Amino acid sequence: MKRRNFIRRIGLGSGGLFIARNLQSESFRGFSGPQFDVSNYEDLVTKDGDIMIRLTYSSTDPRKIARHSGKFSIKKGKLRKTRDYFFHNGLDDLDPAMPGLDVISYPGYADIVVLWITDGSADTEVRIPIEKKTHKFTIGALIEAGDLVFENGAASVSASYLLDREIGEIDPADLGIRDQGDQFRFTAMADPQGGNPFAHDKVHTRMRIHNAFIDESVRVTNELDPQPAFNIVIGDIVDGQGHHEDFRAMNDMLSKVKAPSLYEVGNHETRYRSVFTPGYNMSDFHNYFTAQKEFNGMEKLLYSFNLGKWHFIVWPDPLRSNFWETHPHYFAWLEADLEKYKDRPTMLFQHVPAHPIGILPLINYAESVDVKRTLLETLAKHGNVKYILSGHVHIPMKASVKTSTSYKGIQMINLPAAGYRPRAFGEEDYNGGPSQGVAVIDIKGDDAVIRFKTVTNEEFTYPEATPFDTEKYPLWLNHKWELAKSQRLQNGDFSNDLQHWHRRYVYTEDIHPSNICESRVDDNGEPFLYLFNRSRGYNAPGQDRLPQSINRICQAVKQQPDTIPHIKLAYRIDPDHFLEENLAGTFIWIEGFEKGLKRLNVVYSTDYVHWHLGGAQSQLRTVLPVHLDISAKPGVWRELELNPVGDFMKFTEDQDPQIRNIDVLAINFGVWTINEGFRREAAAGFKKVELQFRDISRLDDAQSKNMGVVIPKKEQKYLWWHGVQHPAGEHQSIVEDLNKYL
């Protein structure tokens, strides 16, 4: 690991809220964090006496699914345990008794297996299955290479070692946290997101604003009576990308909290394009480790501790593309930690919420379904986890209370920020805000009371949350191809309300909701699906406004190989919510999957369309969408005949699309808006949806038609890509050239 020292900077400040000389007179001592260099077998041995080997199964061919099956074996050592991570139900299986696996891998997705080996040495030989063959390597060869990759056709397996130096249980007394018995108080700050606004290429306006609120949040904390036993910062300590100048500034500001403080990793503590390979590459946490060590003497990413009757777990959330693929053993440690303290009420801190928030960024800019599912299944195993406190959203106080929910007895609360201004949830906050402040948690024996105190000294107590409706919103913890499905389309005429159609959870305002999804009846007495979307209200300065496209419904249907779908329906653009050349519209989105791998991606839309529907969690780049235009005169019901496979084959740039083995078809109806400006709105109705599957031999005749006229390809000028600019620190959407993303 490359060692880097902090460079001392002059001229720090936060708009007069803290003094530059305080930072000029002190600098970090160049501590470089836990050492992750490995040169011999002993360097790999964990605190439990094992070594951990991570195996990543995948496919290297974008058109092919690889299947791995066979046994694991160890020579000159013992295989103590095997565990799988992010396996898919019904597709993947690990038999720990053999031990062996049967895994289907597809491009862009990693199936992870971890091996725990004991009584080994550099000469220990590891034999692993890849497709139907066996490859072998020694621990010594792995130490020398850092990563080993084995390929057999489209099948690929990479092997690397895992370390646990940044993981562990801590003694709170080492941090000055005093044991106050079974009754004590602590505070939590989410998203201070401050730093040194003058240490970058340009002055960071929003950072100066954040710093002002951080200073006030510190004041609120220090004025509490009684004082907290400790304070925890739940991620996004700094703004930007983990710059050392910002960590230095935040260490100075947060050291003014009278109580001992803890740090947690969020998505702003590292570079946006951080990578964690080859080997066990932790170099992108260098600045975080250095700042943490200087701040409170710790050097941990994942840790836990006991205080009173309670157990506390600090869970890292860097939200980087391959972090959980390269750190699956964190889940194993979590499981063991929860088992050890299963008789203690437990609270987990995580930066990115695991529960639904109801705005688009918290689907795209959040952990994947697989990570959320793995985490929550682990936390719910013993019933001892009572609360999860999270940040990341910059949520207003009212929305924080409304989105608080529970899952299998775990109450999940997303906290307003200590520094960052709130996002736009479409309605005025309690008493008009501001929402910034600190959470105050009072522990009395086995019970906890959680309040939030704003910088204007308003207090709000969180009520007991109601369970989240997983049946109504199954997409929270399931991929589309994992949804309940039948051999034919169900309730296509919407006569049974929205039964069999699955919705995303959408945050709903108390008055004049910006999103409507319901079954209605037209003038002829026929039921239809009505979807409405407008820019969220309460357009207050400082509220981030990002697009809305999650007001949509979906149904998954089984599809037999060598068949193609043929869909008929009627749709009507609502004239009361239609404007020409408006960055809003309605869409019909057809997706096809082969064992979890997207093979078909076609969007039929009116007017402008959000090009990357579904975003990062929808295999967007695995199969680029084909966009077709169904723009029409509002107010008239129009008949559509859709042949999505034919359209896809005609317009895709893929010269060899793999569509013969599609086994799940997903049909989506939705509306969207850019969520900025005035009169951004769209609404539409859909009815008489019929689905048939025809033999693939009829593909040549397949042309989609709108009232008998062939549906054209969408002009590129109507394909909108979500770009972001930051005037005065705001998030604002901009229209960008799509070509640079393709």
- pLDDT surpasses 80 at 32: no
The partner residues of 681 in beta bridges, in order of sequence, read 534
Burial class (CB in 10 A: 0-12, 13-18, 19+), 727: exposed
Q: What is the pTM of this model?
A: 0.94
In a 3-state reduction of DSSP, which class is residue 392? Answer: coil
- Per-residue model confidence (pLDDT) at position 18: 33
Q: Which two tokens stand for residue 421?
A: 């201004």
- Token pair listed for 731: 């998030």
Residues 6+ apart with CB under 8 A from 293: 31, 33, 299
CA distances from 456 to 34, 130, 250, 578 (A): 40, 60, 22, 42
Evaluate whether 228 touches 221 at the Cβ level (below 8 Å): yes
Q: What is the SS3 assignment for 331-350?
A: HHHHHHHHHHCCCCCEEEEE
Tens of pLDDT, residue by residue over 138-172, are: 999 999 999 999 998 889 999 999 999 999 999 99
**Share above pLDDT 90 across residues of the chain, in percent, rounded to a whole number:** 77
Chain mean pLDDT for the chain: 91
- 165-460 architecture in CATH? 4-Layer Sandwich (3.60)
Q: With residue 591 as reference, give the H or E element that holds it.
A: strand 584-594
The pLDDT, as a whole number, for residue 10 is: 24
Per the DSSP assignment, residues forming a β-bridge with 55 are: 113, 159
Which range, of 513-527, 560-574, 609-623, averages the lowest pLDDT? 609-623
Distance, CA of 30 to chain centre: 33
* 692: nearest Cα among 567, 571, 556: 567
The confidence score (pLDDT) of residue 731 equals 72
Q: Are 100 and 384 in contact (CB under 8 A)?
A: no
Amino acid, res. 379: L
> Please, which pLDDT band fits residue 650 given cuts at 50, 70 and 90?
very high
Dist CA 92 CA 82 (whole Å): 14
Question: pLDDT category, 28, cuts 50, 70, 90?
Answer: low
> Same fold for the domain at 165-460 and the one at 488-741?
no
**Structural domain boundaries of the chain?**
47-162, 165-460, 488-741
> Across residues 492-498, what is the average pLDDT?
97
C-alpha distances out from residue 628 to 404, 597, 607, Å: 39, 22, 10
pLDDT tens by residue, 470-480: 999 999 999 99
HSE at residue 654, side-chain half, CA atoms within 13 A, is 20
pLDDT tens, position by position, 361-419: 888 889 999 999 999 999 999 999 999 999 999 999 999 999 999 999 999 999 999 99
Compute CA distances 251 → 66, 151, 262, whole Å.
48, 47, 11
pLDDT at 207: 92
Q: How many residues does the chain have?
A: 742
Percent pLDDT > 70 in the chain is 93
Q: Looking at domain 488-741, which CATH architecture does it have?
A: Sandwich (2.60)
pLDDT band at 8 (very low <50, low <70, confident <90, very high): very low
Q: Per-residue pLDDT averaged across 107-115, rounded?
A: 92
The predicted-structure confidence for 673-729, as pLDDT tens digits, reads as follows 999 877 899 999 999 999 999 999 888 777 899 999 999 999 998 998 877 777 766
